[in-house]
Amino acid sequence: MTTDPGFWLLQTLNALQLSMLLFLLSIGLTVIFGLMHFVNLAHGALYAAGAYVAASVSAVAGFWAGLVLAPLAVAVIGVLLYGGLIRRMRRSGPMAQVLVTFGLIFVALDLTRLIWGDIALASAMPPLLEGRLSVLGIDYPLYRLFVIGLGLVVFAALAFVLGRTQIGAMIRAGVDNDAMAACLGINVERLFFIVFCLGCALAGLAGAVAAPLLSVSPDMGLQILIPTLIVIVIGGLGSLQGAIAGSLVYGFVQTFGAVLAPGLASVLIYGLLAAILVIRPTGLFPAKG
Amino acid sequence: MFRHTFLRYAVLALLAAAALLRALTAGYFGLEILAEILILAILVLALDMVAGFGGMVSLCHGALMGLGAYAYGVLCVHAGLAPLPALAGAIALTGAVAWAIGAICARAHGIFFIMATLAFGQMAYSWVFETPLLGGDDGLGGIPRPDLSLLGIDLSDSRSFVLFCLAATALAYGAAVLVLRSGLGRSLGGVMHNEQRMRALGLTVWRVKADVFGLSGMLAGLAGALAAMQVMYISPGLLAWTTSGEALVVVILGGLGTLVGPLVGAAAFVTLKHGLSGVTSHWHLVVGLILIAVVMSRANGLFGWLEARWGARLDRRLADATREDTPREATNDA
Amino acid sequence: MLETRDLTKSFGAMQVTRGVSLRLERGERRVILGPNGAGKTTLFNLLAGELAPDSGAVLLAGEDITALPVARRARRGLSRSYQKNTLFDGLSVEENLGLAAAVHCGQGMRLWGDSLARPEVREIVAEVAEMVQLVPHLHARVSEVSYGVRRQLEVGVALATRPSVLLMDEPTSGVGPEMARGFHRLLADLPRSLTLLIIEHDMDLAFDVADTITVLNYGEVVFDGLPEAARGSRLLQEIYMGDWSDA
């Protein structure tokens, strides 16, 4: 089967689709870390919240309403989190932040169970994207192509914002040296707030996009957390290039590992992570030298 | 470096007395809970050794514990070793694996150290899942308990087994104190305070980290073997990173870097878990909120808070009482 | 005793050390002078092994140690103190000295028994405490003693590894001129067998202890010789005059 070009194309598309999903999730986490040195382990919980909101809304008002409302709802959660916890934790060490957000995972896990119950929800695909498309001789689900496309669009948009706009320049300055940025008259605190909410919204978007692909269950946030962390550590904390590179590495290693070396696949990705941490402790594209 | 204070001795004595009393009087269910507490206590002692005294916040101690459990199980079930040699083998093997992980991760700091240990832990977890010899998803059953009939002890009896666990916990505590008070423990403290300076003084920093990580791994292996003995079955879920996360939570709730605090934390955590699960199925919510509250309060956990409030005062009063007749030295003439 | 050959180091496009060649005899006391940014601390980091040079070599007692890591150099008798206090803040003065002495005595990895209770370690601690006048402060925590005492301890910790060569990066940095004098008398009383290389910012203070003087400017050795010759040097005064304002 490995000599069939269709197989390689299919797996490449699968890998890309996984990569893009992870990219949507990891970009928020990595920029928040780069800018605020804040490790938000609850990022996966935000993704789960996005998936739940999307599933609930789409059952009433259709997929597209869910896709729009989920990021907004999660951004609102982000605002609450920022006001209630994150701002107060800004000056504490990474250890305290890891623990508080670890506690948030517990809380979020049970809150989703309280609100939506223990049973996994199914979320329908939009009729428009239900079919399959013939790509270079293979049939591929249209929805998955949509996920790949959405990821690329978000990447392009973020690359534009970070690279070409004033707020992007401010964010880059903040990642580089927040004390210096503050001296230049940038309101760093407000910048943090905006970036944090944007990161949350992207996590919500990822959840909404993932909802029709996976079953929406309370522990989906926990399951995605580790891959997301692997992505940002492989890529290097704080950079857009790192997030996309890490996502691609993870997506391809995981997908091709699963079909080519099934017994080794999961060990492979962790081995790769360990190797990168040993050889290049700051990841492939660290935001700072 | 670790020091015993009056408060630490007092709490330690209280814990030991309570455990002994429960072990002698509790019914079957109470004994199971006590065994769970004692096994968790050994794991969090191991974790506090590296995290509290060496700044190495590990997210692979759950996996190390699982490795110890599997090593014990395989040595008993597949290699046909007697339980006690298998126990020794499991401890040694887990220690060796932990030493290697510590050596490789020694260069990483902060969040990178956490991630690196997480990676190794998850690697072990996936490997266990995919190894047929270990039973994969089904786990490994038929694990024996040691035969101490020569001493007139029957470990298949819950009460005897709990007393066995209590002895193991006491031994583990003693070992941790000995290591932390040794030259190695001193060096570890120096490395945590100022790694650069220790290196400039001629210390091979990675060796210190690896050695302590290995010793801590041996304790985790002991905890794992005991866990395997307790339920006589091992599930791969034992190695999941959430086990490490929970152990870390216990260390933090108890008091990082105090050894006694994590013991308090283990007792409180397991008791709370079983107490709450009778009332509500959402005990994670409660634990999560408590964790957030404790960390936000900036106290060093339950015991740390107690120590900050009473520890210094108690020690001073005690010192005054015993040193009444010796002349006071001037300590501040700078 | 300590020698460098054509030592060069750049950070990006900036060359901070340019072909520095030094040679210190056993027991020699040399002071390195130079304005801010002359590359003095970089040179120390190259000597101690905290930085690797782009080219050139470092020799200790005739042996090439360029490839050795920091800890291995320290075990061969090369010790250093830092310009900014690099101490174990939560511990007592005695424990600070003890940690260093324990590493020197090979007790740093000992699994059995407290390294600081060993007689050979205690002996070094007592000796060094005497040398850098820390005896009254031994039981105080580092965070409790004055800045001046911490500067003494900074040198004391470096001495407690019983080095043959001691690098001191501005030992009097941040202390007043009166205390700095006292500090230099203390340095002058150190055993003559010890080879000293001292970075000093203040020219006058430098003449208190120096057998020989090296002046760095823009990463280059611009003067190398006896203090008397340095005192009269126009070049040195020119370099230094501009520096007084930001000292």
Question: Residues B35, B211: contact at Cβ < 8 Å?
Answer: no
Interatomic CA distance for residues A286 and B164, integer angstroms = 50
Interatomic CA distance for residues C28 and C196, integer angstroms = 6
How distant, in Å, are the alpha carbons of B83, C124, C190 from that of C183? Answer: 65, 21, 11
Interatomic CA distance for residues A75 and C153, integer angstroms = 53
Interatomic CA distance for residues B265 and C2, integer angstroms = 54
Mutate to test the interface with C, among B2, B201, B203 (most CBs of C within 10 A): B201
State residue A1's pLDDT score.
55
Q: Which is more confident, B63 or A226? A: B63
Buried b (16+ CB within 10 A) or exposed e, B238-248: bbbbbbbbbbb
State residue A288's pLDDT score.
59
Question: Residues B37, B226: contact at Cβ < 8 Å?
Answer: no
State residue A70's pLDDT score.
93
| Neighboring chain C residues of B196 at a CB cutoff of 8 Å | 50, 86
Q: Mean pLDDT of all residues in chain C?
A: 87
Interatomic CA distance for residues C103 and C42, integer angstroms = 25
Average pLDDT over residues B164-193: 95
CB-count burial class (<10 Å; 0-12, 13-18, 19+) for C181: middle
CB-count burial class (<10 Å; 0-12, 13-18, 19+) for C112: exposed
Of C72, C110, C149, the CB nearest to B334: C149
Edge to edge, the sheet with strand C2-11 lists C14-24, C2-11, C55-60, C63-64
Q: Residues of B numbered 201-220 whose beta carbons fall under 8 angstroms of chain C's beta carbons: which are they?
A: 201-205, 207-208, 211
Got the DSSP string for B168-234? HHHHHHHHHHHHHTSHHHHHHHHHHH-HHHHHHTT--HHHHHHHHHHHHHHHHHHHHHHHHHHHSEE
What's the DSSP call for residue A95?
Answer: H
Interatomic CA distance for residues B41 and B35, integer angstroms = 10
Confidence of residue A265 (pLDDT cuts 50, 70, 90): confident
Confidence of residue B332 (pLDDT cuts 50, 70, 90): very low
B277 shares contact with chain A (CB less than 8 Å):
no
Interatomic CA distance for residues C189 and C187, integer angstroms = 5
Q: Mean pLDDT of all residues in chain B?
A: 89
Buried b (16+ CB within 10 A) or exposed e, A212-240: bbbebbbbbbbebbbbbbbbbbbbbbbbb
Instruction: Provide the H-helix boundaries in chain C.
Output: 40-48, 70-75, 93-104, 119-131, 147-159, 177-188, 203-209, 227-232, 234-241
State residue B326's pLDDT score.
47
Q: Give the pair of three-digit tokens for residue B21.
A: 């009393």
Say which residues have a Cβ less than 8 Å from residue A92's Cβ, sequence separation at least 6: B295, B298
* Alpha carbon of A108: minimum distance to chain B alpha carbons (Å): 8
B328 shares contact with chain C (CB less than 8 Å):
no
Got the DSSP string for A30-67? HHHHHHH----TTHHHHHHHHHHHHHHHHHHH-HHHHH
- Whether the pTM exceeds 0.95: the reply is no
* Alpha carbon of C232: minimum distance to chain B alpha carbons (Å): 37
Nearest CA in chain C to B210: C109
Average pLDDT over residues B238-263: 91
Q: Residues of A numbered 104-163 whose beta carbons fall under 8 angstroms of chain B's beta carbons: which are they?
A: 104-107, 109-111, 113-114
Q: Strand C29-33 and strand C212-217: pairing?
A: parallel
Q: Which is more confident, B222 or A29? A: B222
Q: Which is more confident, A188 or A195? A: A195
Cβ pair A270:B122 closer than 8 A: yes
The count of C-alpha atoms lying within 13 angstroms of the C-alpha of A39, restricted to the half-sphere facing its C-beta, is 23
Encoded amino acid at B238, one letter: L
Q: Which helix (H) or strand (E) holds C2?
A: strand C2-11
Handedness of CA B185, B189, B190, B191 (dihedral sign): positive
Chain position carrying tokens 């956990």: B301
Residue (of A263, A271, A23) closest to B122 by Cα position: A271
Cβ pair B292:A103 closer than 8 A: yes
| Neighboring chain B residues of A99 at a CB cutoff of 8 Å | 248-249, 252, 291, 295
3-state secondary structure of C216: strand
Question: Which of A33-42, A160-169, C82-91 is least confident?
Answer: A33-42
* Alpha carbon of B284: minimum distance to chain A alpha carbons (Å): 5
B332 shares contact with chain C (CB less than 8 Å):
yes
Interatomic CA distance for residues B265 and B252, integer angstroms = 8
Our CA angle for C31, C36, C38, nearest 5°, is 70
Confidence of residue B328 (pLDDT cuts 50, 70, 90): very low
pLDDT tens-place string over residues B112-128: 888 889 889 988 998 88
The count of C-alpha atoms lying within 13 angstroms of the C-alpha of A139, restricted to the half-sphere facing its C-beta, is 3
Say which residues have a Cβ less than 8 Å from residue B84's Cβ, sequence separation at least 6: B146
Of B182, B198, B331, the CB nearest to C110: B182
Average pLDDT over residues A219-227: 86
ipTM (interface pTM): 0.89
User: Highest mean pLDDT: which of A28-37, B204-213, C212-221?
Assistant: B204-213
Cβ pair A100:B292 closer than 8 A: yes
User: What string of pLDDT tens digits covers the 247 residues of chain C?
Assistant: 899 999 999 888 788 888 899 999 999 999 998 888 888 889 999 999 999 999 999 999 989 999 999 999 999 999 999 999 899 988 999 999 999 999 999 988 888 888 888 999 999 999 999 988 999 999 999 988 999 899 999 999 999 999 999 999 988 888 888 888 888 888 888 888 999 999 987 777 778 788 898 988 888 888 888 888 777 777 777 766 554 434 3
A85 shares contact with chain B (CB less than 8 Å):
yes
Q: What is the largest CA-CA distance in chain A?
A: 60
- Checking if the pLDDT of B331 tops 50, the result is no
* Alpha carbon of C2: minimum distance to chain B alpha carbons (Å): 17
What's the DSSP call for residue C134?
Answer: -
CB-count burial class (<10 Å; 0-12, 13-18, 19+) for A125: middle
Q: Give the pair of three-digit tokens for residue A273.
A: 């992570």
Interatomic CA distance for residues A101 and A249, integer angstroms = 26
Residue (of B247, B85, B226) closest to B163 by Cα position: B226
CB-count burial class (<10 Å; 0-12, 13-18, 19+) for B183: buried
State residue A2's pLDDT score.
64
Percent of chain B scored above 90 by pLDDT?
60
CATH topology of domain C1-77+163-246: Rossmann fold (3.40.50)
Question: Residues C105, B296: contact at Cβ < 8 Å?
Answer: no
Cβ pair C140:B334 closer than 8 A: yes
In angstroms and rounded to an integer, the radius of gyration of the C-alpha atoms of chain A is 19
- Neighbouring C-beta atoms of residue A157, cutoff 10 Å: 10
Chain position carrying tokens 């199914």: A122
Q: Where in chain C is the domain with CATH 3.40.50.300?
A: 1-77+163-246
- What chain B holds in terms of domains, given with CATH numbers, is 6-323 (1.10.3470)
| Chains touching chain C, criterion 3+ CB pairs below 8 Å | B
Nearest CA in chain A to B116: A274
Left, alpha or beta for C3 (phi > 0: left; psi -120 to 50: alpha)? beta
- Checking if the pLDDT of A7 tops 80, the result is yes
Average pLDDT over residues B81-107: 94
Q: Strand C220-225 and strand C212-217: pairing?
A: antiparallel
Confidence of residue A176 (pLDDT cuts 50, 70, 90): confident
B190 shares contact with chain C (CB less than 8 Å):
yes
- Neighbouring C-beta atoms of residue C61, cutoff 10 Å: 15
Residue (of B62, B80, B81) closest to B128 by Cα position: B62
Q: Which helix (H) or strand (E) holds C211?
A: none
- Neighbouring C-beta atoms of residue A206, cutoff 10 Å: 34
In DSSP terms, C81 is beta-bridged to C168
Q: Give the pair of three-digit tokens for residue C209.
A: 């202890």
Edge to edge, the sheet with strand C29-33 lists C78-81, C165-169, C195-199, C29-33, C212-217, C220-225
Q: Give the pair of three-digit tokens for residue C214.
A: 């090296």
Residue (of A193, A162, A188) closest to A83 by Cα position: A193
Confidence of residue B322 (pLDDT cuts 50, 70, 90): low
- Neighbouring C-beta atoms of residue B160, cutoff 10 Å: 17
3-state secondary structure of A152: helix
